[in-house]
Amino acid sequence: MNCADGRRNVRHGGAEAMGLNHHVRGSQMSQSDSVDEDVQAFLPDQDQLHTYDDLTKVNPVTPTTVLKCLQARYRMKVFYTHAGCTLVALNPFQSIPDLYSLDVMKEYHCAPQPQEFKPHIFIVAEKAYRNVRSQLEPVDQSLVVSGESGAGKTWTSRCLMKYYATVAASSSVLKSQNTVKRIERRVLDSNSLMEPFGNACTLRNHNSSRFGKYIQLQLDRCQLLVGASVQTYLLEKTRVSCQPANERNFHIFYQMWNGGTDEQKKQWMMSHDQCFKWLPNSEVLIEEDCFQDTVEAMDHLGINAEKQQQIFRILAGILHLGNLGFSSSVDESQPCNLDEKAKGTV
């Protein structure tokens, strides 16, 4: 009986739901008709679309109106737009002169009301900086940079770091300036070191970070930069042994392959005629393939020559490991055999 009741209820519920759907659909259609009209009323003013510097002012807020505004601003080479307390950053994919210069940083930093200036990443940076300062007890601030691959997150994080390295150094105390410069150098060097090991060329971004990063900048009570720490998480480790079609492994392997000296390559047992399975698309060269930059960053961060050699030998070993092949054994209870060719690799 329960079962029958249950079934009846289900059928009943289903029918009701269908009726409801029908009803909702009807009202949605008339709603969407009126939204369409609003959108049409909003859009003909094409010349004005780029003037909306806050997406909350767009009316009605629909994907079409928001995207049209962003598109109009992009055409006018305006790459930042507020969306309430969030900032939308579009990737210009080209260098924009004077957008991030020292003078612009100072302008935003010194302005009594920076939010009255054009939307910019420096407004967000400055607001967080002032929030730390304005409290009786300093309150930690976080800036979250999110977006799809290639959107410009790494670029934006670098801009933020440069901004704080500039504004959080006392101009009057030379010692403090030196400390800040040293911290800035180390944070930027840590980038130059983490990127070859954690970035790869993908279909969307030739320098795609395959890991997340939490950068902590520490300020003293006078708002001066006194320290920094970087934590990484969720590295896409599987890329070492399995690269999607038309993408590459982590940059470091290509840097070694292209930039290692003959002497080093001998140590790593890499000869020119060798082919590494885990080094696909090695003919694609990108500007990030600079082995010397990585070695310099290691030097600056205190990784000595001996440690460096150990690291590179391990990496070379990983590439050799990728060339191992196995043949399945006849008897399933027995281990697989190494391919004849792979014995040399071992």
Ligand X SMILES: Nc1ncnc2c1ncn2[C@@H]1O[C@H](COP(=O)(O)OP(=O)(O)O)[C@@H](O)[C@H]1O
Q: How far is CA 135 from CA 119, 130, 132, 141, in A?
A: 25, 9, 6, 11
150 binds ligand X (CB under 6 A): yes
208 binds ligand X (CB under 6 A): yes
Q: Which does 325 bind (CB under 5 to 8 A by kind): Mg ion, ligand X, none?
A: none
**Which residue minimizes CB distance to ligand X?**
152
Amino acid residing at 25: R
Q: Which does 179 bind (CB under 5 to 8 A by kind): Mg ion, ligand X, none?
A: none
Rank residues 154 and 202 by Cβ distance to Mg ion and give the closer one. Answer: 154
Q: Report the site for ligand X in 53-92 (rule: CB under 6 A).
A: 91-92
Cβ–Cβ < 8 Å for 256, 316: yes
154 binds ligand X (CB under 6 A): yes
Minimum separation from the CB atom of position 79 to ligand X (A) = 6
Cβ–Cβ < 8 Å for 152, 100: no
Rank residues 80 and 257 by Cβ distance to ligand X and give the closer one. Answer: 80
151 binds ligand X (CB under 6 A): yes
Is 42 in a helix, a strand, or coil?
helix
- Going by DSSP bridges, is the β-strand pair 80-83/337-338 parallel, antiparallel, or unpaired? unpaired
Rank residues 209 and 294 by Cβ distance to Mg ion and give the closer one. Answer: 209
Q: How many residues make contact with ligand X (CB under 6 A)?
A: 17
Rank residues 176 and 199 by Cβ distance to Mg ion and give the closer one. Answer: 199
152 binds ligand X (CB under 6 A): yes
Is 41 in a helix, a strand, or coil?
helix
104 binds ligand X (CB under 6 A): no
147 binds ligand X (CB under 6 A): yes
191 binds Mg ion (CB under 5 A): no
Cβ–Cβ < 8 Å for 136, 119: no
Q: Which does 147 bind (CB under 5 to 8 A by kind): Mg ion, ligand X, none?
A: ligand X
Preceding omega of 114 cis (within 30 degrees of 0): no
- Per-residue tokens: 294: 């990585």
Minimum separation from the CB atom of position 235 to Mg ion (A) = 13
93 binds ligand X (CB under 6 A): yes
* 153 sits in which H/E element: helix 153-167
Rank residues 50 and 153 by Cβ distance to Mg ion and give the closer one. Answer: 153
Q: How far is CA 301 from CA 11, 50, 296, in A?
A: 69, 45, 9
190 binds Mg ion (CB under 5 A): no
Cβ–Cβ < 8 Å for 121, 156: yes
Cβ–Cβ < 8 Å for 25, 7: no
168 vs 220: CA distance, rounded Å: 10
Q: Which of 207, 229, 189, 221 is nearest to 286 (CA)?
A: 207
Q: Which does 207 bind (CB under 5 to 8 A by kind): Mg ion, ligand X, none?
A: ligand X
211 binds ligand X (CB under 6 A): no
Minimum separation from the CB atom of position 207 to ligand X (A) = 5
End-to-end distance of the chain based on CA atoms, in angstroms? 70
Q: How far is CA 242 from CA 224, 229, 247, 304, in A?
A: 44, 31, 10, 31
Per-residue interface string for the shown chain with Mg ion, residues 197-216, x marking contact by CB under 5 A: ------------x-------
Q: What are the residues whose beta carbons fall under 8 Å from the beta carbon of 293, sequence distance 6 or more?
A: 192
Among residues 65, 154, 156, 157, which is the contact residue for Mg ion, using CB under 5 A? 154
207 binds ligand X (CB under 6 A): yes
Binding site for Mg ion (CB under 5 A): 153-154, 209
Binding site for ligand X (CB under 6 A): 91-93, 95-96, 147, 149-155, 205, 207-209
